Each structure stands twice: as structure tokens, then as C-alpha cells.
């Protein structure tokens, strides 16, 4: 049995992120609204089956594109590897003779708060479910996803969702939007661990209930991130990127506050802005690249990680920044 599967692996941004106190298990309470983007990696999974009693084997390799830094990690340290191995273990398939080769075409920068690794893990889970004949909606698949990483379950769903717990417990869907988005990232990344250490050392704490979201639609969520200040102490260049984006023409404004729709995604280092039009997004990307920053235009999407049976979701406005445009 030989199978080759191609999986759409989208990025995300946090429209709302409220971090609480550190818990006894070492994690933080987290209240989040995530939204998937058309910016995506492509995960290609090939599987062969050898002798049925042979141990499972997984080899993961990555190719980076569009100015994304190379990933210098061993295959067994890649989260996609861990996802397939964990799923096989959960369903008693660790010695069923499967040999996986995973190739990830990376367009999502790492250490950027865009969920690229978690999305790749979800993509690997979906491909492995197809190979193993497992229903991807099985609660055990979501349990495996949660153990791998807090953001992984979101990518199995996609769209726009409100999450609680440590940011991994699904609470409800919000109606997604399709507005244009620009992502800007100065050189360097932000370690999530370093951002949380800075957060713990600060005096600020969010009241998770007070920061709750009542909006039914993604476009009505007021942008909020109480982790941003901590990330800015780790990487001061984030302040410059935020201030610059807020001054750009064509950035949408909040209907209530009138403030520019600009926010650091997660712990960073990518800052995003919602744009009034795709033409405005193109112009902002061009100007950001002239400053030496990594920048991409894309749009919000209702898709999550998906096995590609035909056209890639959101392909009209995706990794190259624009249809018929190269930057």
C-alpha cells in the first residue's frame, strides 16, 4: 500500500488573547479567539506499508520559501513527527509496519506567533488518520492533538474559534471573515517561553472573565493581547513594527474605538493589521519589505488543515502576497 497526500496547513492569528496566572501544571490559563489565514505551508505525506509487525518509521524534512529562516532540527524533534507517532501509539498502530515520509514546504515563519508548527502537526494528524482509516473527528484524535500542543486542536477545526483552558479547549465557533490581512515580522523571533517568563515577572494580570468576548462574528471582536507588552520587552523591535503599521494608509479601524486594527499575534514576532482592501495590503507589504522586514498579504479564511482533493482553499490570495504579483 502506497499513498501520497497533500495537506493545506494554514497560519493563524489571535484576534483576542488574554493570559492569566500560571497554573500548578506549569501552563497558564488562556482565553483566546483564533482565526485561520490563507497564508499556509504545504505538507506532503507519503506512506508505504512494510511487514505488518515492523515498527512505525517517520522521516520529516522541511524546505523554506519566501525569506523564511531554515529549520535546523532533527526529524524526531519536529512536531509533525511527534504527531504521527502519538496517533499511532494511541490507536495501537506503533508496530503495524507503516513508513511515513513527510515533506513540509514552509511559508509560515517560526517563532512568529502564527502557529506554523501546530498547523503542521494538525496536517500530519489528518494525513495519518486517512492512512490509518481513523475518523479525524474521533475524540481521541483531538486528545492527541491537545497533548502535542495547545494550538493543534484549533487547526483541526479552522475558521474562527473561541478557546479556553490553556488555549486548547474549544468553546464555540464565531462566524469567520475574509478581510485582507498584512503580516509583518522584523528579523528574529520571540521564544514563547521567554515571553511567558517576562509576563510572569511583570505585575500585570488579566481578568479572564472581564476580557471575555461576546461577539458572534469574527469581524466584531475587539483586538486584544495582554501578552504583547511582555513580548515587546523580549524583542523591542516589535514596538517599531506596531507603530509603523498603525500609521499606514488603508489599515481598517475598530468600529467602536476608532483605533487602527493592528495587533501582535500571540507571543509574536509577527504583527498583523486588517486592511480596507487588498490593494492597500499590497502597498503596505511593499513598504514593509523596503524596511527589510518579512511581510506577506493574505486574508482570513474559514478553512483549517485540510487534505487537498482539488483546489487549495483560499488559493486566490495566499503565499506570494497577491495574485499575479511577486514581491
Helix (H) or strand (E) holding 32: strand 28-49
> Are the beta carbons of 26 and 214 closer than 8 angstroms?
no
Separation of alpha carbons 244 and 115, rounded Å: 24
Is the backbone peptide bond immediately before 181 cis, with ω within 30 degrees of 0? no
Separation of alpha carbons 198 and 200, rounded Å: 5
> Are the beta carbons of 119 and 108 closer than 8 angstroms?
yes
* Residue 208 exposed, middle or buried by CB count within 10 Å (0-12, 13-18, 19+): middle
Query: Catalytic residue numbers?
Result: 12, 151
> Are the beta carbons of 226 and 204 closer than 8 angstroms?
yes
Separation of alpha carbons 89 and 75, rounded Å: 18
Q: Which residues, in sequence order, are CB contacts of 216 under 8 Å at separation 6+?
A: 174, 175
Amino acid at each position: 500500500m502506497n499513498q501520497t497526500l497533500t495537506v493545506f496547513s494554514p497560519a493563524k492569528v489571535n484576534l483576542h488573547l488574554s493570559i492569566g496566572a500560571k497554573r500548578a501544571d506549569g501552563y497558564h490559563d488562556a482565553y483566546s479567539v483564533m482565526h485561520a489565514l490563507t497564508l499556509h505551508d504545504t505538507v506532503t505525506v507519503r506512506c508505504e506499508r512494510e511487514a505488518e509487525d515492523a515498527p512505525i518509521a517517520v522521516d520529516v524534512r522541511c524546505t523554506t520559501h519566501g525569506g523564511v529562516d531554515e529549520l535546523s532540527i532533527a526529524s524526531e524533534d519536529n512536531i509533525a513527527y511527534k504527531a504521527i507517532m502519538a496517533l499511532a501509539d494511541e490507536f495501537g498502530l506503533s508496530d503495524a509496519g507503516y513508513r511515513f515520509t513527510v515533506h513540509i514546504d514552509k511559508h509560515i515563519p517560526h517563532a512568529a506567533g502564527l502557529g506554523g508548527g501546530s498547523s503542521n502537526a494538525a496536517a500530519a494528524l489528518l494525513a495519518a488518520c486517512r492512512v490509518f482509516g481513523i475518523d479525524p473527528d474521533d475524540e481521541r484524535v483531538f486528545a492527541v492533538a491537545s497533548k502535542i500542543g495547545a494550538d493543534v486542536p484549533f487547526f483541526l477545526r479552522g475558521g474562527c474559534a473561541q478557546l479556553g483552558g490553556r488555549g486548547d479547549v474549544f468553546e464555540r465557533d464565531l462566524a469567520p471573515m475574509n478581510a485582507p490581512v498584512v503580516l509583518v515580522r522584523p528579523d528574529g523571533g520571540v521564544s514563547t517561553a521567554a515571553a511567558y517568563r517576562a509576563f510572569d515577572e511583570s505585575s500585570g494580570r488579566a481578568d479572564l472573565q472581564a476580557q471575555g468576548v461576546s461577539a458572534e462574528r469574527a469581524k466584531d471582536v475587539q483586538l486584544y493581547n495582554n501578552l504583547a507588552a511582555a513580548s515587546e520587552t523580549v524583542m523591542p523591535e516589535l514596538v517599531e513594527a506596531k507603530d509603523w503599521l498603525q500609521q499606514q494608509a488603508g489599515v481598517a479601524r475598530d468600529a467602536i474605538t476608532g483605533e487602527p486594527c493592528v495587533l501582535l499575534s500571540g507571543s509574536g514576532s509577527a504583527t498583523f493589521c486588517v486592511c480596507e482592501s487588498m490593494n492597500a495590503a499590497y502597498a503596505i507589504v511593499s513598504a514593509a519589505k523596503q524596511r527589510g522586514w518579512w511581510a506577506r498579504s493574505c486574508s482570513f479564511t474559514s478553512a483549517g488543515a485540510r487534505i487537498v482533493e482539488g483546489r487549495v482553499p483560499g488559493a486566490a490570495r495566499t503565499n506570494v502576497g497577491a495574485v499575479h504579483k511577486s514581491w
